[in-house]
Structure 1
Amino acid sequence: MTTNETKEPILPDAVKLMPSTRRAWLVTGLLFVFIVINFGDKALLGLASKPLSAAFGLDAAGYGLVASSFFLLFSVSGVLVGFLANRLPTRWLLLVLVLVWSLSLSPMVWTSSVAVLVASRITLGAAEGPAYGLANHSMFKWFSESKRQLPSSVLLMGSSVGTLFAAPGLTWVIQNVDWRAAFALMALLGVFWCVLWVVLVREEGPYGASGEVTVSDEPSLTVAEHHVAYRRIFFSGTFIGSILLGFAAYFGVAIAVAWVPQFLQDGHGLSPTAAGNVVAAFWAVAGGLILGTGLLSQRLTLRGVSTTWSRGMLSVAMVLLGGILTLLGALASSPTLSVALLMAGIAAPGGVVAIIVTLNEEISPVRQRGAILGTTVALATLAGLIAPTMMGNLVDSAPNALAGYTTGFLILAVICIVAAAVGAALIRPGCDASRLRRPL
């Protein structure tokens, strides 16, 4: 007897585990908000620098030390949590980080102690140090390798959006309510994000989480799944070159977050509101450059362009452009032209921080990826420990504030140009990935 039963096709387990695009972008959206809050927290100190410095009796050098204290444990915690992420679910690690952010901001609502202020900044930095690397590690579990650059750039764009909204919004709160109220507001936003994260994200993605099935809808570009000695990865040309590019990019970011509002007020006489508007415009441009760089990088990669060029040399070009524009801005005689060139010079390398993450993800075994990404961000952001203190000391020691700022921007320009030259010589992700696949 013949039957006409329609049998349900049996799908391979790997196909069943493939994440939906909607789910992947929901997670990316929440992680984008995570980065927005992260950079809102960072930007707040710079926006509140004038009333905060007055309340705590800080001069420029003292404020610079407070700003740098944020980065004291920033890199250390980035590495440590990165190694933890090799073994623990990233969704829980992310939740803990944001809870600590909110708790560390709360003393600013009442304290007048410099010691408590510094302790608050150090704790906040320790909790925010792993943020970008861990967010990417979590997001990478939802996208195949060649499609990761755009969502990684979207996450990084959260840094610009966070500061873009923080600049006018928090400046209004500081001017019309109180600078302490702005810290309370950011703490509450962190708690609200935690509630959304717990409700909406209840699993890890299927792409390469430890202890999960790894699926792929295309040939992987990443290192094969044997363990690679960390020293081999850390001493590869791609890792070293990308760290230098990231360091240069973040040197500018750290100056922008900690000093640009004061630079605009003390160096060029802008009001707090006008300075906040310029800062907002700066981060709007920076966000557009981050997204545009990410889109271009991913499009080139999907069209078959070598990642040496679509990621590595594109990053080199953006850092070099930033160095040249910053140099021209520092030397320009027109105040308006100088500010425009300096803001463009700091903004240009911004997207590089997202690209160096995908460069080093490309040469890393999946089960070691959390540690590699944590270390990548930790080393690049060491710039944040140096830049604010350097600028504060330069401003205090110069004959006038503007001269001190100009010297700081010249140093930034040199760092960018040198990093671009070294990065161009060293970054070869395809070659390094192939070499690392071969056991010694």
Structure 2
Amino acid sequence: MIRALAVVLFALLLAGCSPQVETDQARLCRMALPALMADGAAIDILAETPDPDGRGLAVAFSARPSGPVPERHLAACRFREPGRPRESRDLIGLTLDGEALGEARLFALVRYWLATPEGRAADPAPLGDLTRAPVLSRRAAYALQMALDGLPLAAIYALLAAAYSLIYGLIGRINFAFGELAAAGGYGAAMTALALAGLPPAPLLAAAFVMAAAVALGWGFATARCVFIPLRRARGQQTLVATVGLAIFLQELLRVAQGDRASWMTPVLNQPFALARSGDFVAAATPMTFVASGVALGVALALVVVFRWTRAGREWRAYADDPLGAELLGVSPSATTARAFALSGALAGLAGAIMTASYGAVGYALSATLTLKALAAAVVGGIGSLPGAFLGGLVIGAAEAGWSAVFPIDDRDLAVYALLIVFIALRPSGLLGSRDPVVEGLRQSRS
């Protein structure tokens, strides 16, 4: 069983490292096919093969113009630059069955077909072969689609909630600057993807995620050394006010450094495919949806290993349970706090990278919304509990997707905050939070 799983994982790794078809290049090339065939011809896409230089692809397809026997064809499209085309006229060459389209015919195709709503609606295979998708009831297919839409949100909120819980469980304080750390990680991922444009998806995403985690890790370590460790013995709400000031400072720093416009990341693994259908409704997902969920799940398992079987994890648990006793036994409060903030920053950076890779954009203004919703996920799951943080992220992500499926999406944030109020009123410890008064007493004693 283990060998079979290893073979499957190795095959997936090789697939991720191989050249991938650029989604928008393939879409433009497929859109051109109905204009090149006879009116009413049924087109079936057989294969799509990218060019080695990333500037085009070949599309093998069959067309049935009138009779029952399909005719096989091969179209080759060339684009101005590698990567995602910005507009229809980036298509600079098209060959059908070895015969190139003339300049005038190509201009007419781009100007009067590809750039029109009719041309965009004529894509013969936007979701692949629908006949292979299982047939479900309308409600089941719609519920599946909403669940798939909620997976990236749940992964983002879970990672940020884990960052909150990591710090709160250690020092009993809330850091309101995690949204800014996530935005910094998103910028790092976007710039890395831009610098490595043209690489296969697996190394590109790996480099983007590593850079995002490294950038936010450095910022987290710096916030610990400059803000939290000097205020370790502060009383009252001084630390809370300091985190609010830190969040404002980091947000303005991002605005000045990156501008007030959102930064865009070239889409990766964004080709949708059908998972189920019900009549004319198709439940679809992209590979990035499952990559985001897999990263969050992998991080959760890694945190379990770190906090259960490593010295740093044991020191974190000891200091969280009894700061004075842990210090008497040689646990350094400053080092433990700095490590916790560095790790929590890396978690926030990964959340920002997932957000950028899944939705394509990152901006400094997104940090405030991320901060509040991730805090809601941490409270719902039980702030201070790492398993509760991931459960809370799943709950908040599901709540957002469920509300969007039934009610107006404009009120989605109000629904999330209303859910937070309900948990605070009825179950303030959250789903997996501790109700141990001794722990609460220890946290009070640090003030």
Higher RCO structure, 1 or 2 (CA under 8 Å, sep 6+): 1
TM-score normalised by length of structure 2: 0.32
Greater helix share, structure number = 1
